[in-house]
Amino acid sequence: MKILSSVTDFLLPRYCKVCGRRLSVSEEHLCIGCYIGLPIVEYDFRTLSRTETLLLSERNIVRASSLLQYDKESDYRKILFHLKYWGHPEVGSWMATIGARKLGDAGFFVDVDFIIPLPLTRRRLRKRGYNQCMYIANGIRKVTGLPVVEHAVIRHEDNRSHQAGLGLFQRWSNAQGIFQVIDPEPLRGKHILLVDDVLTTGSTLCSLIGTLNQSVPDIRVSVFTLAITI
Ligand SMILES: [Zn+2]
């Protein structure tokens, strides 16, 4: 098997997704130097994480954490580019397994029933060809064994950027209607883990959590994002 990997590596060399250096057979996605230097956000359940602070406007959150600090000046942002734009979404699954192992040790997944990846709009999904959050969710599933539920929620087009001429009420109802729960019954009384790629202001996730709280009785929500902006 090792010989086969060596031959494959010779014919199809692989490169570090951060610094671009050629990878050795034993390295996966990142070279050892970039792997050691990953800007990991440590999770401590005794203090409020920054991710939790950003989502505090939704009070029904059980736990929330992010794996990486996203700095637009740092080459580590390329991990997100590979995941979302450069056609290598498998790096998201791999990073998520790293996050899930760390968080699992801290008891982050206790009581969680299943994982829901943040949905894309139909138009975005058609353009990209895949939902990057599904890859992150699958990485967590590999480590925790938690099932992934893909089509529980759909996402409509967000018209907020085109609504300069609308009245206040119309603006409000546009923002409220971005997400829709397809069938609330299987989610009733469950603890779900929402998964997203990058947390910036938290407004999209808050909108989804708000919709879930309004639509599903007794739901509890935790959140994992691959990265958080600094
Ligand atoms: Zn590297």
pTM: 0.88
Cα angle: 19, vertex 132, 48; to 5 degrees: 85
Instruction: State the distance from the centre of ligand 1 to the C-alpha of 74, rounded, in angstroms.
Output: 12
Instruction: State the distance from the centre of ligand 1 to the C-alpha of 22, rounded, in angstroms.
Output: 8
How do residues 36-45 score in pLDDT, each as one tens digit?
A: 999 999 887 7
Which of 77, 98, 68 lies closest to 226, judged by CA? 68
pLDDT at 59 over 80: no
What pLDDT does residue 53 have? 83
Instruction: State the distance from the centre of ligand 1 to the C-alpha of 15, rounded, in angstroms.
Output: 8
pLDDT at 171 over 50: no
What pLDDT does residue 25 have? 92
Instruction: State the distance from the centre of ligand 1 to the C-alpha of 25, rounded, in angstroms.
Output: 14
Averaged pLDDT for residues 145-162: 85
What pLDDT does residue 19 have? 97
Which domains, from first to last, does the chain contain? 1-37 (no CATH), 39-229 (3.40.50.2020)
Confidence of residue 203 (pLDDT cuts 50, 70, 90): confident
Q: At residue 49, what are phi and psi to the nearest 5 degrees?
A: -75, 160
Instruction: State the distance from the centre of ligand 1 to the C-alpha of 64, rounded, in angstroms.
Output: 29
What pLDDT does residue 166 have? 52
Comparing 58-67, 80-89, 156-165, the range with the smallest average pLDDT is: 156-165
C-alpha 67/C-alpha 78 separation (Å) is: 15
C-alpha 229/C-alpha 39 separation (Å) is: 11
107 with 63: CB under 8 angstroms? no
Instruction: State the distance from the centre of ligand 1 to the C-alpha of 219, rounded, in angstroms.
Output: 41
Q: Is the dihedral of CA 128, 103, 50, 38 positive or negative?
A: negative
Q: What DSSP line would sit under the chain, residue for residue?
A: -HHHHHHHHHHS--B-TTT-PBPPTT--SS-HHHHHT--BPPP-TTS--HHHHHTTTSTTEEEEEEEEEE-TTSGGGHHHHHHHTSS-THHHHHHHHHHHHHHHHTTTTTT--EEEEPPPBHHHHHHHSS-HHHHHHHHHHHHH---B--SSEEE----GGG-TTS-HHHHHHHHHTSEEES-SGGGTT-EEEEEEEEESSSHHHHHHHHHHHHHSTT-EEEEEEEEEE-
Q: Which token pair is 27?
A: 């390295």
Instruction: State the distance from the centre of ligand 1 to the C-alpha of 137, rounded, in angstroms.
Output: 25
Instruction: State the distance from the centre of ligand 1 to the C-alpha of 170, rounded, in angstroms.
Output: 48
Comparing 12-21, 152-161, 191-200, 221-230, the range with the smallest average pLDDT is: 152-161
What pLDDT does residue 172 have? 47
pLDDT at 179 over 80: yes
Average pLDDT, the chain: 88
Instruction: State the distance from the centre of ligand 1 to the C-alpha of 49, rounded, in angstroms.
Output: 28
Which has more confidence, 136 or 58? 136
Q: Which token pair is 129?
A: 């060809």
